[in-house]
Amino acid sequence: MREILIYGLSKEATQEWQEDLLACFPDSVNTQDNINKVKQAASAQGFHSFRIATYNGESPDFAKSVTV
């Protein structure tokens, strides 16, 4: 099952590697509403630079991502 992950930077953070996972939930009919709610609540607490990612439950293929 596909999952939606929402990442964001806290107000002090400026680099991508400082992201925090803000929410993770199953993809559904209400996905866009859920994303908007998370972003609104996180913005009120000082988070910025949100990133939405998906996860399909697959294992990563490290051989594809590493070149020697």
Question: 50 and 4 in contact (C-beta within 8 Å)?
Answer: no
Band of pLDDT at residue 59, cut at 50, 70 and 90: confident
Q: 43-53: buried (b, 16+ CB within 10 Å) or exposed (e) per residue?
A: eeeebeebeee
The highest-confidence range among 11-15, 45-49, 55-59, by mean pLDDT, is 45-49
Q: Render pLDDT for 5-33 as a digit per residue (tens, 0 to 9).
A: 999 999 999 999 999 999 999 999 899 99
pLDDT of residue 52 exceeding 80, the answer is yes
Residue bearing the bigger pLDDT, 68 or 29: 29
What average pLDDT is seen over the chain?
Answer: 92
